[in-house]
Amino acid sequence: MGASPDRIESVCVFCGSSDAADPAYLADAARFGKLLAQEGRRLVYGGGGVGLMGACARAAHEAGGDVLGVIPQFLTSRERALDVVKTVVVRSMHERKQIMFERSDGFVVLPGGIGTLEEIIELLSWRRLELHRKPVVFYSPGGFWDPLFVLLQHTVEARLTPADFMQSWSVATQVEDILPLMAGRLRAGDDDEAPAATRRVT
């Protein structure tokens, strides 16, 4: 699968696909998409035009950014694939995630539901198995992802996960801090010393 990238040129964003999401989350997703375009980074995402993923991709495209969507055929109607961006239509969810992984140098996790959880848990599992060392940053406004971090820490305390696994990601609470945190992980060889729960940008 690959080791650490030399630089961050393509950023994969995992996030929710519900239009019923908190308007603040939708606005943050759009702001991050625009920021990616302004920074000259390509957005790699799940290919849909709904929810946070649609807001992020649409904003990146409208700001002149490079956007790559990857979506399974059976979701093209439900998630309303964006025709205005380059989109790869695949056969399965597994193929979708594999391509998103291969085309990305780092990963950002915005607020999302069960689908986002499934994607990020698999990514962190690959990290645990030393299949990659690409930077991972959670955007956790208002502590959105804290329950997940508590659960992961619980598995550490139960001696089912090694303690250093909790150093596998960084956490941002401001959209503008996501890319600097990702760059910092890259410079440090993706080995931040502080536990994930304390690596907050306030």
Looking up residue 160, the CATH number of its domain turns out to be 3.40.50.450
What average pLDDT does the segment 105-118 reach? 97
Task: Please indicate, yes or no, if residue 189 is contained in any of the structural domains.
Answer: no
Is residue 126 scored above 80 in pLDDT?
Answer: yes
Fill in the DSSP letter of residue 41.
Answer: P
Indicate the pTM of the whole model. 0.89
User: Using one digit for the tens of pLDDT, what is the confidence trace for 143-201?
Assistant: 999 999 999 999 999 999 999 999 999 999 999 999 999 999 988 876 543 333 333 33
Tens of pLDDT, residue by residue over 130-149, are 999 999 999 999 999 999 99
The answer to whether residue 190 sits within a structural domain is: no
For residue 202, tell me if it sits in a domain: no
DSSP conformation letters of 16-34: ---TTS-HHHHHHHHHHHH
Res 99 pLDDT > 60:
yes
Please count the structural domains in the chain. Answer: 1
pLDDT computed for residue 192 by the predictor: 45
Domain ranges, residue 69: 10-183
Residue 191 lies in a domain: no
Predicted local distance difference test score (pLDDT) of residue 98 = 94
Instruction: Tell me which long-range contacts 59-63 makes (C-beta under 8 A, separation of at least 24).
Output: 59/29, 59/30, 59/31, 59/32, 59/33, 59/34, 60/33, 60/34, 60/36, 61/33, 61/37, 61/85, 62/34, 63/33, 63/34, 63/37, 63/38
pLDDT of residue 7: 85
Look at residue 119 and tell me if it is in a domain.
yes
User: Which of 10-14, 19-23, 80-84 has the lowest average pLDDT?
Assistant: 80-84
Is 56 within a domain? yes
